[in-house]
Amino acid sequence: MFPTLHTLSQFALVVALLTVTPGVDTALVLRSAAVAGRARAWGAILGIGCGVLVWGGLTAVGVSALLAASQVAYTIVRLAGAAYLVYLGLRLVWSAIRGHVQGRAVATGVKDTIGAGWRQGLLTNLLNPKVGAFYLAILPQLIPVDAPHLTWGLSLAAVHVAEGTLWLGAVLLLARSLRGWLERPRVVRGIDAVVGTVIAGFGLRLALD
């Protein structure tokens, strides 16, 4: 038994608003596409999608509910996620301060590979308990008591992944179309500074929330 078309459309509308709202995922893909490379950006998109599927499955089987019920468990996940985001953001800011650029190629210190982007996207998503909180708030209202929860959770999460891939793919293509301008040393440093500040700010907000 799978979700009905009506249920999927309801969830798609809600999650579409969440998807297009600028956040850590958009900032991560934008920076990866503009500075690190296309492969790493697509890897980040795939990693983010995998993280969404994990949260959907965990929520469906009740693990996210356990996190919500246990203040200690939630706090541990929240602080771990916050620390990772602050670390990631500060690394980008430090890269902007150092300004290591060789000609038109940026010496980012990271590999332009799908695997590297996937790991970063996955960790960024999994260490954000607010994604789990969103699913915990939405899925119980959509999944019938007698329905196979894991199947429904993964099905609904797949809708989120599809919309997220389309949106982040558009961000990637836009960034790549402006690649010549985005690879200028001053622009690269500006991107690192802005994106790093945004990501670190999200981390601090998550820690203090």
Other residues' Cβ atoms within 10 Å of the Cβ of residue 13: 9
> Is 12 part of any domain?
yes
Give the integer Cα–Cα distance in Å for 192 and 178.
16
- Per-residue pLDDT of 78-121, as tens digits, reads 788 778 878 878 887 887 787 654 433 333 445 678 998 999 89
Closest to 153 in 3D by CA, of 164, 162, 140 = 140
Q: What is the pLDDT of residue 6?
A: 87
Q: What is the pLDDT of residue 104?
A: 37
- Give me the chain's average pLDDT, please: 81
> Sorting pLDDT into bands at 50, 70 and 90, what band is 160?
very high
Contact 140/32 with Cβ under 8 angstroms?
no
Q: What is the pLDDT of residue 144?
A: 83
Identify the top-confidence range among 33-47, 107-121, 178-192.
33-47
> Is 23 part of any domain?
yes
> Is 186 part of any domain?
no
> Is 87 part of any domain?
no
Residue 18: give the domain boundaries.
5-78+111-179
Please say if the pLDDT value at position 157 is more than 80: yes
Q: Specify the residue for token string 């199947």.
A: 151
Please give the full DSSP string across 140-187, using - where no structure is assigned: HHHS-TTS-HHHHHHHHHHHHHHHHHHHHHHHHHHHHHTHHHHTSHHH
> Structural domain tally of the chain?
1
> Is 165 part of any domain?
yes
> Is 173 part of any domain?
yes
Q: Which residues contact 160 (CB under 8 A, 6 or more apart)?
A: 11, 15, 18, 19, 52, 56
pTM: 0.75
Q: What is the pLDDT of residue 67?
A: 67
- Per-residue pLDDT of 62-75, as tens digits, reads 876 676 677 787 78
> Is 103 part of any domain?
no
> Is 191 part of any domain?
no
> Sorting pLDDT into bands at 50, 70 and 90, what band is 38?
confident
